[in-house]
Amino acid sequence: MRKLFLALVLVVAACHHDPEPVHAKDMPPLPPSSGTPIGYLLDSATDLKLDDNQVTKLRDLDASLAAEDADIDTQLRQIERPEAEEPTPKGEKPRRHNNAPGIGMHTTADAGKLHSMRDRQDQQALTKAFAVLDTTQQTSARKLLEERGVSAPGGVQKPTHGGAEEDGQPLPEPGMGEP
């Protein structure tokens, strides 16, 4: 009887089920595998129903854009360096630092120009990529890119680096209309 009970306990213990994985609903999308906006289109080739010829053309555009962006990113890394830390004097406690990405960066006008240049390159490449897609694919691609914060050709344009001329101007009061 003990052997039967022990066997039953072992069978029940062996039937352990892993819990269902938790799916985060509000997680931001991952960056494209290639690091360019065209990479989002390639990552979603099945959803967009791209044929082999379209995938080949998009990969060529993606490789070209990645090389151009890499040149600009190299220049940006040289310009946008974090501030150098001062050495801690002997006998004092080290200062606390906020090590979040981008903290301690001082951007310059040259860095702003490089960011704008990169945005223009991305938009030009996306325009070429959209020329490869048919109308239905363009609609799906536009939605896909806008969900990921990338302004697609013919879609709503996101603000560029450096701000717009009307930045700093107060908004009109609701119901008052513009002056």
Is residue 7 very low, low, confident or very high in pLDDT (cuts 50, 70, 90)? Answer: confident
For residue 140, being part of any structural domain is answered with yes
159 or 16, which is more confident? 16
For residue 158, being part of any structural domain is answered with no
Share of the chain above pLDDT 70, in %: 65
For residue 129, being part of any structural domain is answered with yes
For residue 142, being part of any structural domain is answered with yes
Q: CB neighbours (10 Å) of residue 105?
A: 12
How many angstroms separate the CA atoms of 147 and 140, rounded?
11
Tokens 């704008």, located at residue: 116
End-to-end CA distance of the chain: 91
For residue 113, being part of any structural domain is answered with yes
Whether 160 shows a pLDDT value over 60: the answer reads: no
DSSP 8-state secondary structure symbol assigned to residue 148? T
For residue 162, being part of any structural domain is answered with no
pTM above 0.95, yes or no: no
How many angstroms separate the CA atoms of 139 and 47, rounded?
12
pLDDT at 31: 63
Contact between 74 and 177 under an 8 Å Cβ cutoff? The reply is no
pLDDT at 179: 46
* Range in 1-10, 23-32, 82-91, 136-145 with the lowest mean pLDDT: 23-32
How many angstroms separate the CA atoms of 129 and 152, rounded?
10
How many angstroms separate the CA atoms of 27 and 148, rounded?
11
How many angstroms separate the CA atoms of 89 and 137, rounded?
61
Domains: count for the chain: 1
From 38, 33, 35, 30, select the one nearest 62 (Cα to Cα): 38
DSSP 8-state secondary structure symbol assigned to residue 65? H
For residue 36, being part of any structural domain is answered with yes
- With a CB cutoff of 8 Å and minimum separation 6, the contacts of 123 are 151, 153
How many angstroms separate the CA atoms of 34 and 8, rounded?
52
Instruction: Give the domain range for residue 125.
Output: 29-82+106-150
SS3 of residue 5 by DSSP: helix
For residue 119, being part of any structural domain is answered with yes
How many angstroms separate the CA atoms of 92 and 76, rounded?
35
